[in-house]
Each structure stands twice: as structure tokens, then as C-alpha cells.
Chains A and B, each alone.
Chain A
């Protein structure tokens, strides 16, 4: 994979690098643990892991401010952790327990946090795109300068409602950053086999929406591109498209036979482009921290994730009465 354009790396402090290292590592270890709990039968249904794509959300969250919103599709665990949602609550939702963000009624693909301005977690591919534009519409209507990050994949980018939304977002200058996480495979169909024109970020051109491609394995490049996109939206110029070139190491979901790509292709990405290793190298080469200091972070993250797993295993299943609640808000 070669990103077609990489924004110049900004100067960055050791503290900032360690922050990104920590946030990306939390996502990876959390997802590994989720995979393990799935294997043990503690997590059911569909479970789509974010391993490999960590730099995308961590980089973009670094460009967000209080009040900004985010919405994504079903590969959503990373987004939730990156915006500061509690790993215990996320993991307990995966196990379908009372302590989960949706009290066990949503599951992996349907989780929300009003507090963190995380609006899901949507299981219908492409449906979250107009929803994200609607959140941006509300902010514009209210006259504040918040921006909505609307994430979707290269697969969702072929849905018709995405282009309906591009049109209206541009027409009404909605403050929305469309983040296309291009991990090259729509489930098992490679982009080459599903997309007539490979440069998805160009697809806003018909609506006058600027777009660019970014190296999604480089958290600093993602952050820089995110800041540029956000500045565009906040200044009232309307939407912006970022096509973030990334890669998922694991299958589409847990039940992925992995026949559509070679093991070598995956291994090469892990060896040569891994986002976490990249930041780790920057930290060590820049002498911002020692190996031991990083090991301490690793240990701390491992404990956080183990605690989340423990919480998710021991939190009770929702009470039987929960079957009948939350269907209507009392009028």
C-alpha cells in the first residue's frame, strides 16, 4: 500500500508521541482481548476488530475539540476508546452485560455515548453518513463551531446515500469531515474489484468538496490532515473529505476465512507499516523515552485491558425487565 499523498510531519514532542503510543496500544490490546473473549464464547454475534487501523482514529481525535461529534459504522471499538469512552463499558457491551454502554442491548455494532459525543456504532453500511451530516446540520442550525467526524469505509463509499449526503452537505455548507477509512477490502472484496475509480477522495469533486488522501499508518500525518480538514469546516467552508489509507490485519469479522488476500500481504504490512511500531521507533530514536518506560506503558495498558475483560465477564446480564425498557421515551 502506498498512500498517494502524505502531509509533512509536524514537529512533535515526546509527550505527544507517548500519548499516541498509549492510545493506539490501548486499542490494539483491547481488540486482541476482544478476539480472545469471542473465541471463548463470551462475545457473540458479529465482532469487527480494528487492529491495524489504530492511527486513523487516534490521529483524528488529536485534531478534535470539546463539542465535536463522531459517528462511525460497525468497526467501532477503536473510535470509542479514542474519544475517551471507558474500556470497561465498551467490553461489557461486547459481552452483553448490564455494565455495557447500552446496558447489553446494543452489542459490538451499536454503542453510543452522549457524554463523549459518540453517536454510534451503526450496523447498516453507509447509513451513518447522512446521520453524521444531520448532527453537523444541528450544530450549524444552533450557530456553534462544532464539527462532526463521519467515518466510513471504502466499501460504504459505494452506497448511494453517501452521495446524496455529499450533495446536501456541500449545498448547505455543513461542518462535517467525511473520513473514509480505506483498508482496501470491503469485507472480502478488494477495492480493485469493487470500485471503478480508485481515488475515493476525488469523489467529492463533483459536489465541490475538497478531499485528500493521507497515510493512515502514520498518526502524525493523520493528525496534520485532520487539523487542516477541521479548520476548513470550522471556518464555515463546508465539508471536507479525508481518504485515510489504512489496513486491517484481522478478518472482516471473527468469521472471516481470509481467502481473499495472502498471508504474506498481511505480514508485510505488519512488518513494514505498523502504526504503533512507527511511533515506538520515533520515541526511541528521538530518545523521548527508554525501552523500560515503554514497557511500563505496555504493562499499564495490559492491566487496563485485563480489568475491562474481568469487568465484562463479571458484570451481570441485564435484568429480564430490560427487555421491555427503552422502546419509547415517556412523552
Chain B
């Protein structure tokens, strides 16, 4: 049977083109790979090669013709033994409609907000009456890793100075002694490379904990985190998850300048496929890190240098975890909801304390994890207090606070008695000078001022 040669699509966006020049004529024999014509697309003039072998029976579109639609027959190819005389005028096939256009856009509009209070999971994180012990965030993170490494020998930790130096911030202290150099691995200073090796190792059946000395250096590795770790499960149709934890100190420390002082909460919370935790208390740091190590997905674990030395009560249990996506009411209140996470909680709690002295009762919600984010707890609290202030150290544009404000507008609009205020870091690179650095961060005073604004008192 004669084969129709169709106008080819020669670029991802081409819908029509110009048949610039024929390089074969009727009666010519062509083999696979022979150049048959030159076609002008929106991008360039390209050579069009034969796929099948045969004899050019008829040329249907003359050279120089513009606006030839993709898939229009442009020539007829004859096989051995066929003659051009056998050809009846072929009816040009109608341009093929894309099947995709038939498919309705999925998940079009979400339903209008139903003003019903959600029922957040408010179960206690550990049983009533559990004995507690005082522990720094540093000790909590260290014990979380040690416990998980004892539990599962596929867990290992790699990063700069994690082994012999005992960790630049001592989070991996004593791990080398207990687990040996096979499982506690000093890397060269090469974040992009070792982040990629970590992701590959997670595909090979291990559970890496990749420590970035700070998340600022993790920016060198962001392609591996997003393109390799976060997206591969989806791109592989569910075959290849990346059970890996990337962790390290995040955000401003003290007097280290712009390149070492950035909060990545909003950056990573943006990415589907990642889970993101940013704990404040030592108990949450421990429970969330243990969950992160056990999680079959890539987890971004954002710690904070200033919090490392702070002490909190931690349940004295052999094993406990804190789930992702469950916020904690750190302080109950009636008049306003302050939503924060990580070191922002320091300002939120201080502000709540001082506001109480002025007779304003603030409820403080510690998000703990940013993806998944516990919207229900925030919404339920705002439905009760009707006012909301968010607190974070990151920059204001496209911040976590922005996301929460938008969610409250959609889901609790009628319950808001004032616009939501986002307390954030200022929209500037971090200055070095002590006075300017202080101004660039948010503060307890700013949170108090914001609460006065939303409560009109």
C-alpha cells in the first residue's frame, strides 16, 4: 500500500510550517534517513528525513507553500512493485485534533468556602503523665539520630565535619564513636555532589541523613533536592521514592551577614514531593527528626543555630515520634491567634506573655511542619479568635504568612474581624551591623504591635 508522508511536527510547539524546498522529486528512491525536504518551522529551517524506504510516487504539496498544517499529507511513497498510476487522489486527512483538548481540566474550581469549623487533630503528642526531662535542642537532635541509627542499619549520616570534628555545631557528637566511619561520613566541601550521592544512595535502598553545615550552603545542592529527590517519585509513576533527610541550621544566626542568614522555609514549602519541618522546641525537634528519618519521602529539616542551646522538656520515653502535618497549640487564648514556627515561636511566645499582662489573651499555634501544613488547626483557632498574626524570620514576599493569609481568606473569610498581619524579616539582605541586623529581623515588639492592630486595642 502506498504510504502517505505527512507534514511533520519538528518542534514541541509547531502547528504549521512552510515547505521550503523539496530535495527529492517524483520517481526518486529514498531510504530511511535520506533528506527529503527542508521545512521552515517557527524556530528554524530543518531537514526532514525519510523514515520508510520506497519511491516518491507523488508530491502533493509544492515547495514554497506556506502554512502547511502538521499531519497534512505532503507526498506519497510507493513500495516495491507499486506504480504512481495506481494512485487515486488521496483525500487529505483532516488535521488531527489533540486528544488532550477533550479532557476536562481536572479539579477545576474548589467549592466555595463552607464556613464550618474543621476538627483538627488535637490528640496529645505523648500520654498524660509521661515523665519529662530537660534537654537542649542540640541533644534532642543528636539523640534522635542515634536512636534511629540503632534501630535501622541502613541509616547513615554524611556531611561536612560530621565525623571527626564531631559536627560544626556538635549535632553529630559521638556518632562516629558509636557507629563508625562507615555510617558517619565526613565529606569534602562539595554540597552539590554529596547531595546527589545521597539521593542516589536512597534509591539504592539506604536512608541517608545529609547534613548541610548550614542551609545557605545547601543552595549549591538545590537542583538535586528538587529535581532529583522531590520529583522522581512522580516522574517514575510511583516506582522510585527518595527516603532521605536533608538537615542543618537555617535562618539568621548572629552577625554572619547576608550570605549566611536566610530562612528557606517558604522556598522548600513550595515544592510538591518534599516534606518540610521547622521545629522550635526540643521535644518537637526530636520527635519530628525521628519521623523524618523513618519517612519514605525526602524531608527538609530546618534547624536553627540560636535554638540549638535552648532547653525544653522532652518526654523521657524509649521511643516517640511527632507526625508531620500536626500543629501544636503552644498556648491557649481567646482574643487573637498568633501562628508561627521555628525561631519565630520565640517572639510569638514572648509577645503572648506580655500581651496577657495587658489583658489580651493570645493563642499561639506552632506549625512545626510546613509541608504538610496543618491548616485545620489554624482555621479552627481563627474561627474562635477572629484575628490572626503570623510570625516568621523569612522575607515577606511569597512567605508562609502570605499562604496562611490567603487560606484564611478562602476558608474563614466571614470569621475575620481584621486583616491578617504577617510579621516577617524585612525585605533586605541581612546586614552585618548589630543595630541593622536587629532591625532586619522581626521582633517581639513588632508582634505585640501587630496584635494591637488586629484587635483594635
Q: Which residues of A contact B (CB under 8 A)?
A: 32-33, 35-36, 38-41, 44-46, 51, 69, 71, 100-106, 110-114, 119-124, 127, 129-139, 141-142, 160-161, 164-165, 167-168, 171, 249-251, 254-259, 263, 270, 317, 320, 323-331
Contact = CB atoms under 8 A, between A and B. Distances in A.
A35 B49 CA distance: 9
Contacts of A110: 232, 235-236
A121 B224 CA distance: 14
Contacts of A330: 296
B10 interface: yes
B264 interface: no
B196 A142 contact: no
Contact of A127 (B44, B203, B224, B241): B224
Interface of B: 6, 8-12, 14, 32-33, 35, 41, 43-49, 51, 70-71, 96, 98-100, 103-104, 106-107, 156, 182, 187-188, 190, 192-206, 223-224, 227-228, 232-241, 243, 272-273, 275, 291, 294-297, 324
A112 B240 contact: yes
Contact of B190 (A100, A127, A164, A258): A164
B420 to A, nearest CB: 28
Main secondary structure of the interface of A (DSSP, over half): loop
Contacts of B233: 326-329
B190 A40 contact: no
18 contacts: A40-B9, A41-B98, A110-B235, A123-B227, A134-B203, A135-B204, A137-B201, A141-B206, A164-B192, A167-B188, A168-B187, A255-B14, A255-B46, A256-B46, A259-B44, A323-B107, A328-B275, A331-B291
B198 to A, nearest CB: 6
A122 B228 contact: yes
Nearest to A114: B239
Contact of B9 (A39, A132, A136, A259): A39
Contacts of B14: 255
Contacts of B41: 255
B51 A130 contact: no
A102 B237 contact: yes
Contact of A132 (B11, B32, B200): B200
Contacts of A124: 223, 227-228
The 9 nearest A-B residue pairs measured at CB: A134-B200, A138-B204, A130-B196, A164-B193, A39-B8, A257-B44, A255-B11, A102-B237, A103-B237
B8 A255 contact: no
Contacts of A45: 12
A58 B163 CA distance: 42
Contact of A142 (B205, B223, B227): B205
A138 B234 contact: no
Given A32-B33, A161-B193, 11 more contacts: A110-B232, A110-B236, A127-B224, A130-B199, A134-B196, A168-B197, A249-B33, A254-B10, A325-B238, A328-B273, A328-B275
A40 B234 contact: no
Q: Name the residue among A110, A251, A331 with the largest chain B CB count within 10 angstroms.
A: A331
